[in-house]
Amino acid sequence: MRPLRPAPVPLLPLFLLLFTLAVTPRASAAGPKTHSVTLGPARIVSYTPPQANPSAQPTQGAQPSPSTDTLRIRPLNVDGLRREWTMGEVHDVTDRTFVIRRALRINDSLPAEPVHWTWQPGPWLMVDRLTGHITALHLPDFDPLISNVLWFRDDAAYCGVSTGAKGGVMAIIAQLGVRKPIVEKLLARWPQPSPAALASSPASHPIGQTSPAGGPVCAPVIWQRSPMRATLQLTGGQPTTYDVVGTVSLIEENDNSEQ
């Protein structure tokens, strides 16, 4: 009968195991990584409304034609890398979350035409400064060409367009995190009549602008803090004030999320 002898134990795997157990709790306790979210320098780009002729857009270095407008855009950078192009001003919802409008560069050429890129106003984005997470907002009945959104806290007030059978230009007040609008009121039919039609028979047409290229459909929204109200007015029409019920932000700010 052979005597029992102790088997040698490799020290390196045992050391690695002990090191892993010692380091893992410290790494998990360090918390999520903080990202850097910045807006870069602004630049001016040509913007041609969809109703205009793309061939009228000026070439590089030329002066814009009457049918061409301009947009002031800025890059949205996360950790030094450009994630989106934006336009307009930032609205801080909380000390870590803000919203800003997206600028889109789209291909506006027909199948038989050479590629023609154009800038267009886009939807709104919600950005988390801590995680660097960017969320596209789907505001009810929002139309990039006519909706001039004005924010107060986490509520957006604007004129939208509903394409349903009973739709038209709508007065909308929407809250972040809530699918159903707080306010949804029909203001006028859409599309709006032309100026010539209004002149020939003004009584048979609602008040408003012809198209996005013809001017704003609604006047800028007027917000009131206490009581919380928003006043919306169709261009040339009478202002209407709506009470806003519910002021608690439903934005999810998860401190443990890491992007």
- Tens digit of each residue's pLDDT (9 = 90 or more) over 128-185: 999 999 999 999 999 998 899 999 999 999 999 988 777 789 999 999 988 889 999 9
Residue 64 has pLDDT above 60, yes or no: no
Confidence of residue 236 (pLDDT cuts 50, 70, 90): confident
12: buried, middle or exposed (CB in 10 Å: 19+, 13-18, 0-12)? Answer: exposed
Q: Which pLDDT tens digit goes with each residue over 5-56?
A: 655 655 556 556 565 665 555 544 556 678 899 999 999 998 877 665 544 4
Structure tokens at 183: 């306010």
Least confident of 111-120, 200-209, 239-248: 200-209
The more confident residue out of 115 and 25 is 115
Residue 68 has pLDDT above 80, yes or no: no
- Which stretches of the chain are assigned E, i.e. beta strand? 37-39, 43-47, 69-78, 81-92, 97-107, 117-128, 134-136, 150-152, 155-161, 169-175, 183-188, 222-224, 229-232, 240-243
pTM of the model: 0.72
